[in-house]
Amino acid sequence: MDILIVGSGAREHALAAKIARSPLSGKLYCAPGNGGTSQIAENVAIAATDANALVAFAKKANIGLAVIGPEEPLVNGIVDAFEAGGIMAFGPRKAAAAFEGSKKLTKEFLMRWGVPTAAYFATASYSEAEAYLSDQSFPIVIKADGLAAGKGVYICESRQEASKALGEIMLEQRFGASGDLVVIEEFLTGEETSALCFADGKSLVPLESSKDYKRAYDADEGPNTGGMGAYSPNSIIDAPMADAINNEILNPIMQGFIAEGIDYRGILYVGLMITGAGPKVLEFNVRFGDPETQALMPRLKSDLVDIMLKCINGSLKAGDVEWSSDESVCIVIASEGYPDSYEVGRIISLGEPGGAEIFHAGTKLENGRLATSGGRVLSVSATGPTRAKAREKAYAAVQHINFSGMHYRKDIAREMGHKGN
């Protein structure tokens, strides 16, 4: 069948590369795609958020399956739009995708079903938020309630930092209407990880474990970003911890979905903090993680299209998802200044990757030359029999890439503790 992948990041390029290898896959399209997806698919100049135009294109091109990458179109109901047009789509429908559109909604659901999570306070009033902070200890976490491209989370070490964060979110409207309401959370200490799961409406089948790096600079310093690297598997997720996540987190979540009539199909990304008291949920995302996907797809042995169809049809079994024993490391190369202001249009030189895979994000072709067009530009992923071997291969490939002002962390997959939330 011909397949349309919606999105333009390295996540979508990694998905496209995996889907292209499926015997079930016919012609591939990416909308809008990037400089890398154009090498394995036909890019279509339609924004990922333009559901009407995407459905119209899919009908005209006789698309059999649409795969939705980014969160915004999912939250806005793009899966419902495709289904109304008679086209299968991989991703949760609008009612289920609402969890990523509101952190408050997620926290309320977790509390109802006894899923371990941080204590919180949510308000749409700036003065109420300020008053609440006066009685709290620090550090504390402040989040814009709505979508903020992974950048709406502030870890505040002092009352002064917390007031500044509140001002940026609620008064300056740095994230637009997403900051009309804030969620203030207890700071959790531990090791951050995630549990990505395939969902078929009846069960959650976990993907292999992974760990990503949110902070912009080495040693987990600097502002939060959309993600500067990842590796898989995450060594902190041993068999007993995997059982704890399944029993204390995933099973109650699915029980809650079923009891509340939430027909969740697609990917559920459960952000976790492994604390001294066990795993606790930080957030829900309703799509593949980025950059986790770039670390996970090279390890997936099973046919991704087959898995997606079984999720849609409600027939997925744990045995349908097989993984390589190899480990993987992904390094994100960003533009100078990311996640704040940065220049675009810088020419990229790509050398021999040496066995690594290069997934494009903020790239475009200009007069036959590859140039930067975003904050996160490339993801370099490599696998190996050990994490050290995969890391060595990935960083060796990075040395053959060059553009003015390129920035990347030097400590991805080097063992270290994360600071918390």
Residue-wise pLDDT for 217-271, tens only, equals: 999 999 889 899 999 999 899 999 999 999 999 999 999 999 999 999 999 999 9
* pLDDT single digits (tens) 310-337: 999 999 999 999 999 999 999 999 999 9
Is pLDDT at 89 greater than 50 in this prediction?
A: yes
Please state whether beta strands 182-186 and 120-123 pair in parallel, antiparallel, or not at all (unpaired): antiparallel
pLDDT at 39: 94
Is pLDDT at 100 greater than 70 in this prediction?
A: yes
pLDDT at 366: 86
Beta strand segments in 53-200, E: 65-68, 88-90, 120-123, 140-144, 153-156, 182-186, 191-200
pLDDT at 410: 97
Q: CA angle, 132 as apex, 127 and 136 as ends, to 5°?
A: 145
* Confidence grade of residue 417 (pLDDT, cut at 50, 70, 90): very low
Pick from 93-102, 289-298, 412-421: least confident: 412-421
- Which helix (H) or strand (E) is 20 found in, with range? helix 10-20
Is pLDDT at 411 greater than 90 in this prediction?
A: yes
* pLDDT single digits (tens) 348-367: 999 888 899 999 999 999 88
Verify cis geometry, omega within 30 degrees of 0, for the bond prior to 279: no
pLDDT at 300: 98
pLDDT at 343: 96
SS3 140: strand
Q: Give the global pTM.
A: 0.94
Q: What is the mean pLDDT of the chain?
A: 95
Tokens of 382: 């490599």
Instruction: Give strand pairing partners of 88.
Output: 65
pLDDT at 419: 46
* pLDDT single digits (tens) 140-196: 999 999 998 778 899 999 999 999 999 999 999 999 999 999 999 999 999 989 999
What is the distance between the alpha carbons of residues 270 and 259, in angstroms, rounded to a whole number? 19
What is the distance between the alpha carbons of residues 175 and 277, in angstroms, rounded to a whole number? 33
Tokens of 91: 């991703």
What is the distance between the alpha carbons of residues 352 and 400, in angstroms, rounded to a whole number? 6
Q: In 186-275, which ranges are continuous DSSP H helix?
A: 239-245, 251-259
pLDDT at 151: 80
pLDDT at 418: 45
pLDDT at 53: 98
* pLDDT single digits (tens) 379-406: 999 999 999 999 999 999 999 999 999 9
* pLDDT single digits (tens) 13-69: 999 999 999 999 999 999 999 999 999 999 999 999 999 999 999 999 999 999 999
